[in-house]
Amino acid sequence: MKSRNLTLLLDLYELTMANGFFEEAPQKRGYFDLYFRKIPDKGGLVIYAGLAQVIQYLNELHFSESDLDYLKKLEIFSPNFLEYLRTFKFECDVWSVEEGTPVFPNEPLITVRGPLVQVQLLETMLLNIVNHESLIATKARRICMVARGRSVMEFGSRRAQGADAATYGARAAVIGGCSGTANVLSAKLFGLKPLGTMAHSWIQSFSSEKEAFMAWKKIYPHNCLLLVDTYDVLHSGVLNALEVFKQLKEEGIQSNLGIRIDSGDITYLTKQARRMLDDAGFKDATITVSNALDEDVIQNVLEEGASIDSFGVGEKLITASSDPVLSGVYKLVATQENGEIIPKIKLSNTVEKTTIPGFKNLYRLYDDDGQARGDLLTLDGEKMRHNSQLFNADPNKTYQKKKLRGLQLKPLRVQVFAKGKLVYQEPETMEIQRTSQAKLATLPAACLRLKNPDIYDVYWTRQLKELRTQMIEQYSE
Ligand SMILES: Nc1ncnc2c1ncn2[C@@H]1O[C@H](COP(=O)(O)OP(=O)(O)OP(=O)(O)O)[C@@H](O)[C@H]1O
Ligand SMILES: O=P(O)(O)OC[C@H]1O[C@H](OP(=O)(O)OP(=O)(O)O)[C@H](O)[C@@H]1O
Ligand SMILES: O=C(O)c1cccnc1
């Protein structure tokens, strides 16, 4: 993808702190974790997305001459720091969960290790990317889940909050399960399927609906997905579409036939339209519906027995309008001085908001059938044994303790940058979608449901739990 310099897309305090770190302790290193605390829509999981854009951003970090001129004019940065920025070379280590993975609150999705002066600068953009794309992928997963195997086309660009939200949002929607997008730029950039039908303007621009459909047939004889609700779905739209389909049949032309309904009672109209198409011998003609759809409407119309082959979903998906924020955070969890890792904690009034200190690893625990039984956070370097005691991170769970026995540990994260060098190859977006579905299939079914899902078990090792408890005691005195 074409490079663009987003290096200054940070919050001023990151630069002022970086200046401070540079002046005070240029050698001091830090560890930051990126994680979220709450799942949108009271859901059971988040689909992690955005790593490809994180990689692109980190690969392109540099301060241009005009950036440096601008910063100099602010008169708040030391000349030596500005000189450091001029020759800035990214040197950090980055570990991340792979895109498409279902993840849970308080899991370190990304850990960045490096000079504090560098790791601090990344806060805003890493959060901006991951919070947005994971939010949309998560919403798409909900919508696609209730669509039960029917295609869901992403139609939201026109109502997205800006060009990036449209383009990266469409990619995230595909990671979450959409079959493709109407956004051609996104399709081109990310190898997605470009999909679409026609707008009402096509039909309105002709003197009749029939004329409009016939003109479409002439230009696209192999793809006749006709929008049938401009005037009257059952008394005009479907009847005119049938005329076109019959002509194509008589002419012996193989075509993808279908209709799209964009208003009215979806259940009633699709049932009636299906009957009309079937009765006329067009059992293969598909029915697509759109119009402010979300997981609730889709679930409702399918429960009512609506006859639908595919959905076009726009504004509610691309803006995640039912709960439009994933509040991921980026927190310092350790520093490193003279080779020694020193865990750090941030206390809060609530235990949930108190950070989890230390340089950690994240694992998924699988049983012999390949089913996920929970996730595990360990401190880096801890040796796990069969009789290792695990502690549920959720203090409200009745069964607090568990032995590792019988479970296999698989690391959930990969190293993405080593000393500033990219060491990870991103899979294609469609491949990410496939692996995402496979990972979802290993989770307990009760965690997948949309309403009142079970809380997935996330465990800590004894060492991690004790470290946190001891640090809370130490700092709250
Ligand atoms: N059977 C149904 N059950 C639940 N919701 C439905 C059903 N049929 C349609 N809807 C949804 O109800 C909402 C309003 O539908 P309605 O047809 O009134 O839309 P509209 O926006 O008024 O139509 P138009 O596009 O003509 O203005 C939409 O979100 C639509 O998807
Ligand atoms: O409703 P969404 O989920 O966002 O899906 C995309 C919508 O975009 C188009 O509408 P258009 O902009 O033409 O406006 P409309 O609502 O009048 O159809 C299309 O006809 C869908 O209704
Ligand atoms: O192709 C379509 O039918 C489409 C695309 C974007 C928005 N609404 C509909």
Q: What's the CATH number where 384 sits? A: 3.20.140.10
| Same-domain check for residues 265 and 331 | no
| Same-domain check for residues 19 and 127 | yes
Bridge partners of 63, per DSSP, are: none
Ligand index nearest the alpha carbon of residue 321: 2
* Number of Cβ atoms within 10 Å of the Cβ of 336: 18
> Which among 232, 266, 291 is the end of a domain?
291
Domain count along the chain: 2
**Burial of 474 by CB count in 10 Å (0-12 exposed, 13-18 middle, 19+ buried)?**
exposed
Q: What is the pLDDT of residues 172-216, one digit of tens each?
A: 999 999 999 999 999 999 999 999 999 999 999 999 999 999 999
Ligand index nearest the alpha carbon of residue 308: 1
What is the SS3 assignment for 466? Answer: helix
User: Residue 349: what pLDDT?
Assistant: 87
Q: How far apart are CA 273 and CA 239, in angstroms?
A: 9
Ligand index nearest the alpha carbon of residue 298: 1
**Burial of 198 by CB count in 10 Å (0-12 exposed, 13-18 middle, 19+ buried)?**
middle
Residue 467 Cβ < 6 Å to ligand 2? no
| Domain assignment of residue 179, yes or no | no
Q: What's the CATH number where 258 sits? A: 3.20.20.70
Nearest Cα to 139, choosing from 317, 326, 314? 317
> Which among 248, 268, 291 is the end of a domain?
291
Would you list the DSSP string of 373-388?
EEEEEEETTPPP-TT-
| Beta strand extents in 212-261 (DSSP E only) | 223-227, 256-261
- Place 2 in a pLDDT band, splitting at 50, 70 and 90: low
> Which of 136, 139, 152, 155 is the pocket-test mutation for ligand 2 (most atoms within 8 Å of CB)?
155
How many whole angstroms from 278 Cα to the centroid of ligand 1?
Answer: 24
| Domain assignment of residue 424, yes or no | yes
Range of the domain at 262: 197-291
Residue 290 Cβ < 6 Å to ligand 2? yes
Q: How far apart are CA 92 and CA 265, in angstroms?
A: 55
| Same-domain check for residues 401 and 455 | yes
> Which among 291, 311, 346 is the end of a domain?
291
Mean pLDDT throughout 83-103?
A: 98
**Computed over its alpha carbons, how large is the radius of gyration of the chain?**
26
| Domain assignment of residue 175, yes or no | no
| Same-domain check for residues 328 and 461 | yes
Q: How far apart are CA 399 and CA 73, in angstroms?
A: 59
Residue nearest to atom 7 of ligand 3 (CA): 155
| Same-domain check for residues 329 and 219 | no
User: Residue 399: what pLDDT?
Assistant: 77
Q: What is the pLDDT of residues 367-395, one digit of tens each?
A: 999 999 999 999 999 999 999 999 999 98
| Same-domain check for residues 273 and 397 | no
Q: How far apart are CA 129 and CA 328, in angstroms?
A: 10
Nearest Cα to 468, choosing from 331, 343, 334, 330? 343
User: Residue 5: what pLDDT?
Assistant: 86
Q: At residue 3, does pLDDT exceed 80?
A: no
User: Residue 1: what pLDDT?
Assistant: 53
Nearest Cα to 6, choosing from 61, 49, 53, 55? 61
User: Residue 218: what pLDDT?
Assistant: 98
**Which ligand 3 atom lies nearest to the CA of residue 195?**
1
Q: How far apart are CA 25 and CA 108, in angstroms?
A: 26
User: Residue 400: what pLDDT?
Assistant: 83
| Domain assignment of residue 347, yes or no | yes
What is the SS3 assignment for 477? Answer: coil
| Domain assignment of residue 189, yes or no | no
Would you list the DSSP string of 56-118?
HHHHT----HHHHHHHHHHT-S-HHHHHHHHT-----EEEEEPTT-EE-TT--SEEEEEEHHH
> Which of 230, 268, 289, 297 is the pocket-test mutation for ligand 1 (most atoms within 8 Å of CB)?
297
Nearest Cα to 108, choosing from 92, 119, 117, 95? 95
Nearest Cα to 4, choosing from 60, 86, 64? 60
| Beta strand extents in 175-309 (DSSP E only) | 180-181, 223-227, 256-261, 286-289
Bridge partners of 413, per DSSP, are: 97
| Domain assignment of residue 393, yes or no | yes
| Same-domain check for residues 20 and 132 | yes
| Same-domain check for residues 86 and 211 | no
Q: How far apart are CA 375 and CA 396, in angstroms?
A: 17
> Which of 230, 262, 263 is the pocket-test mutation for ligand 1 (most atoms within 8 Å of CB)?
263
Cβ–Cβ < 8 Å for 180, 192: yes
| Same-domain check for residues 329 and 400 | yes
| Domain assignment of residue 191, yes or no | no
| Same-domain check for residues 131 and 20 | yes
| Same-domain check for residues 249 and 343 | no
Q: What is the pLDDT of residues 285-319, one digit of tens each?
A: 999 999 999 999 999 999 999 999 999 999 999 99
Residue 200 Cβ < 6 Å to ligand 1? no
Nearest Cα to 16, choosing from 123, 110, 93, 113? 123
Q: What is the pLDDT of residues 425-447, one digit of tens each?
A: 999 999 999 999 999 999 999 99
| Same-domain check for residues 448 and 330 | yes
Q: What is the pLDDT of residues 116-136, one digit of tens each?
A: 999 999 999 999 999 999 999
| Domain assignment of residue 145, yes or no | no
Residue nearest to atom 27 of ligand 1 (CA): 263
User: Residue 350: what pLDDT?
Assistant: 86
